Amino acid sequence: MLILAAAADLGLAALLVGVSGFIFGGGPEGMNGETGAAIAWTAAFVATLLAPLLGFFLLRRRHPGLGVLVASLPPIGAVFLAFLPLHPY
């Protein structure tokens, strides 16, 4: 389960990098958007990279269930945010 959660986290990180150009403008490497959006994007990206590392750390410390939960939080949060009725217009 932890491997699946880590794969989902890395897929989510790749998706964040892939769509960043559409959100911030100026191509995939552009960060010309609003400061709050850039900070939120950076925090989400760091969380998706650190969550599986923390999950494997907890697995090594004999807390496998908690490790899977921690590693699964970014994908669960992304699914939750995807279904919120947020309309920027």
CA dihedral 71, 72, 75, 77 (to 10 degrees): -110
Q: What is the mean pLDDT of residues 46-71?
A: 93
Can you give the residue range of the structural domain that contains 65?
2-82
In a domain, 14, yes or no: yes
In a domain, 89, yes or no: no
In a domain, 74, yes or no: yes
Q: What is the mean pLDDT of residues 60-78?
A: 93
In a domain, 88, yes or no: no
Q: Which amino acid is at 22?
A: F
Is the pLDDT at 53 greater than 80, yes or no? yes
Per residue in 14-51, pLDDT (tens digit) is 988 888 777 676 655 555 667 787 788 889 899 999 99
* More reliable by pLDDT, 64 or 18: 64
Q: Contact 16/48 with Cβ under 8 angstroms?
A: yes
Is the pLDDT at 55 greater than 70, yes or no? yes
In a domain, 17, yes or no: yes
Q: How many domains does the chain have?
A: 1
